[in-house]
Structure 1
Amino acid sequence: MTERRPFREVKLQWLRLLSCDANVNDNAKCVALYIVTAHVNGHTEKAWPSYKTIAEATGKSVKSVQRAIRDLEIGEWLSVQRGNGVGHNTEYCPTDASILKASELREKTDKSVPLPPSEGGQICPERRSDMSGKGGQICPPNLEKEINKKLNAREARVKPVSRRSIPIVVLPKAQTRQVDEWNAWLAEKTLPNLARFDLATNVNGSSGYRLPFRWPPEADSDKERDCLSYFLNRLPAAEHQPSSEAAYRQAA
């Protein structure tokens, strides 16, 4: 049975499942994205933004926000405890059922199952020494000889394989939904948000960010490795902390 993980560990999986729910309209998905990425506390898993705050941030009316909250509550994505006055704001929290589904999806992506030996899925240890049926012996490799082996002139001229280039796109800062998704992806990789990188630019009077793609990449894809390499190469010196070591290893 899948164990429920903390919401901060499965936030991307939670958003992925929500985006694929055909019973939830785009208005509700936009409101949920803003609440989860901008207000949910990583430890308490709760948020307290007002309807007015959500409406101003998402560019929607207060009534549209209220309808979106009701749809998310009916769809069992958010648990809502409504306030009763000043100092008692409405409280939002991802439901245990939705977090459990996200934990199951995270477990599937993390799990690697080796194939049976008959199907060639298992790597056997290298044999160092063996006696053949015809006599004689297969000697283990001479490691010292391998270390001291020098490249010949032809091998020395071989150029190293270069990394493939990444096309750069400009994402306007006004596209708050895409910016929020990028910041959520960076937080999952223990990296600072877009504002901390030197990616700002200005095109035709409109400010934006220079990014490798318009949307965050799928997990365990070539695009994800390209994105990690792109951001790690532009990581500010002050952000080189042990918390980013996992992202470095994943991009390697």
Structure 2
Amino acid sequence: MSGVRPFRDVKLQWLQQLSCDKDLSDNARSVALYIVTTHLNGHTEKAWPSYQTIADATGKSVKTIQRVIRELETSGWFEIRRGNGIRHNTEYCPSAVSILRASDAREKTDKVVTLYPGEGGQNRPARRSDVSGEGGQICPPNPEKEKIYKPNPREDAPPRVETRRAVPLVFVAETKTKQVEQWCAWLRRHGFPSLEALGIRTVKTGQPGYALPGYWPPDEASPRALEWVAFFSCRRDHIADEPDRQADLRRAS
């Protein structure tokens, strides 16, 4: 058996095995999928959504969620540490056993099958013709075809200007201290100013908070990390250029 890998490296294999567990109810698979894909922190490998949050997102009752959580715990998919319901929500973490199974599956998919018979893999396909030693037949040049060749007008066209896709934002309340602290640490690690200095503070239904690209900062290995770094770079540049724009407007008026 292989060693245990970080959950973010075997997340796909973990979800595949979860979906194929015939002993799990449909409600259990749905709740597990929601917790892992929406709330699981990539660094701590833990999640803290409340029963009510899961119930609202999945369209089920709180009692159903409680029963499903016990099912996921007894079936060995999650390790659960229950909170007191006041300031500490229940903590969910994929179990070590399930991560080990996913790590074994990842190791099997990482193996490369060689095409050379001496290496224990499959034989490479035979040549299609004896005319060429490269596996195919040599095609002689066609002078007539070269005469009627017309250049592709697209070759002279100007290069396309790549447009940046807008990053969808989510609302993170100021009271979500763990999420806010991890975002602040992520920004400092990448050389950005604070959330306040970036000007992304907002209010939703009377509750103060921040408009961020995600509920939690991304993993360093995630391709979305570069996209979010670019987002905050634009925000920083926008804030830096704002005094100059205001001065130009005053001079123009």
Question: How high is the TM-score relative to the length of structure 1?
Answer: 0.50
Larger gyration radius, structure 1 or structure 2: 2
